[in-house]
Every structure is written in structure tokens, then in C-alpha cells.
Amino acid sequence: MERDDVVAPLVDAIRMLTHAELVDYSGHASTRRDAVSFYINSGASIRPIVTAADIVAIDFDGKPVDAGSTTDSTVRRGVSPPLEFPLHAEIYRARPDVRAIMHTHPKWSTLLTMTGVPFRPVYPQGALLGDVPVFDSPLSVNTREMGERVARTLGAGAALLLKSHGAVVVGATVVECFALAAYLEENASRQYLAMQIGTPYVFSAAEQQLCRERLATPGLFKKTWDHYFSKL
């Protein structure tokens, strides 16, 4: 696929993540380029108005690749990947099935980690996240060693929370990854609100399984994407 075809949905996703307040002035999203490299928004990019020129292609050591295309001009302008690129690199290295990763700073999901409240599925789409482990450090994931620890904590899962910091969501496509990132925060906000008036009902294992079978579909992911896209 051409660079533009791969990068365009990534740009849309970052704008939507910002619009939905899942990403603020930092936070980043990436999509796999090949077995050894990926596209990611630059550390300096202004998230709500990010464009294809803000996307850099780097290998798992953070070195620019793809010179000769748009990235060539971005490299000349000194555009660098975010400091936390090892978070993406080490998940791609460990998980060949992952083709998109989003690191967000969502308020409600992070609030749960600040107080040690485990994420629990309390609405149907929340079940699609499965078990969401918590990475036991609030610090920036900016070394290969930390990236490897994050990848190990994520395991084969779809998401993990970084204590008092943010969330990491992965997917087989940018559309799926975006939808899961939205569901994660929506579930956490509902869980938090329910806790203000009582003990939230947590979906049983059988209910979670049914939700996954019925809702983890490309059709629902695209519908979720289109919903957020229409609000840009």
C-alpha cells in the first residue's frame, strides 16, 4: 500500500482521539508499516490539527525510514517521533498480529488506576476489552526495557492501563483500535459514575463472551468510527 493510504486513517484517528478527549497535547497513535517499522505522529505535532506531514516512519530503534517520500521533508524539518516510541516498537516486535497501537491519556480510565479500582466491563462494548491489566509505573515508557515490560504486561490482550498515566490499546486495524480505545474510556466513565450511586453490575463471564461474539465485528467498529468521524 502507498504511504498516503496507510497514513490517512491514522491522521483521522488522531484527530478523533483528540476531539473525544482521549488524547490531549500529547499521546500518540501508530500503524505498522512492515515487519520492522511503523508510522507514528511526531512528538511535536499539534494533535487536533495533525496532518500527514506530521507522521514519521521509524524502525524499532526510532531511526527514520522511508526517506524520499513526505517523511523526507519532515525529517529535514527536524520532526522526531515521540519519546515514548519504544512503547509502540516493543509491542509490534512482540505481537505480529498487531497493526495499530494508540496511547491515550483518558481521564476516567486513568482515574481507576489512581485509586486501584480494577477496570470491569459494565456495558456491552466494555466486554470487548477483556481483562485490562495495569502497568505498575506512572513513568514515561521511553526506553526499550520499559517498552518490553509494557508488551509483557499486555500479553495477548487488547488493552492495558498505565498507572496514573494513560492507556494503551492495540488492534488488527486502525479502525478496530480506535473503536476499542473509545469503548475503554466509555466503560470506565460509566463504571466511575455507577460507583457514585452504588455498586456497578459487572457482566458475567458468559455475558462477556456473548458480547464479544456479537459485537467484535468490523461492522460495529466501522459504525463507531463513522460516528466519531462525523463529529469532527
For the stretch 16-20, contacts whose Cβ atoms lie closer than 8 Å and that sit 24 or more positions apart, written own/partner, are 16/178, 16/225, 16/228, 16/229, 16/231, 16/232, 17/47, 17/102, 17/104, 17/178, 17/181, 18/47, 18/48, 18/50, 19/48, 19/228, 19/231, 19/232, 20/182, 20/185, 20/228
Instruction: Give min distance, CB of 82 to Zn ion, in A.
Output: 8
By beta-carbon proximity to Zn ion, the closer residue of 24 and 207 is 24
Of residues 141-170, which lie at the interface with Zn ion (CB under 5 A)?
Answer: 166
Instruction: Give min distance, CB of 111 to Zn ion, in A.
Output: 15
By beta-carbon proximity to Zn ion, the closer residue of 81 and 166 is 166
Spatial separation of the C-alpha atoms in residues 146 and 84, rounded to whole Å? 10
Instruction: Give min distance, CB of 52 to Zn ion, in A.
Output: 23
Nearest to 163 by CA among 136, 192, 181, 198: 136
Instruction: Give min distance, CB of 26 to Zn ion, in A.
Output: 6
Of residues 168-227, which lie at the interface with Zn ion (CB under 5 A)?
Answer: none
Residue 9: Cβ within 10 Å count: 19
The number of residues that bind Zn ion (CB under 5 A) is 1
According to DSSP, the β-strands at 100-104 and 134-135 are unpaired
81 near Zn ion, rule: CB under 5 A: no
Instruction: Give min distance, CB of 213 to Zn ion, in A.
Output: 33
Q: If you count them, how many residues does the chain have?
A: 232
By beta-carbon proximity to Zn ion, the closer residue of 166 and 171 is 166
By beta-carbon proximity to Zn ion, the closer residue of 106 and 166 is 166
Q: Which residue is nearest to Zn ion (CB)?
A: 166
Spatial separation of the C-alpha atoms in residues 31 and 35, rounded to whole Å? 11
Spatial separation of the C-alpha atoms in residues 4 and 180, rounded to whole Å? 24
Instruction: Give min distance, CB of 179 to Zn ion, in A.
Output: 21
By beta-carbon proximity to Zn ion, the closer residue of 99 and 105 is 105
At position 128, the amino acid (one-letter code) is L
Nearest to 228 by CA among 2, 23, 7: 23
By beta-carbon proximity to Zn ion, the closer residue of 86 and 166 is 166
Interface ranges with Zn ion (CB under 5 A): 166
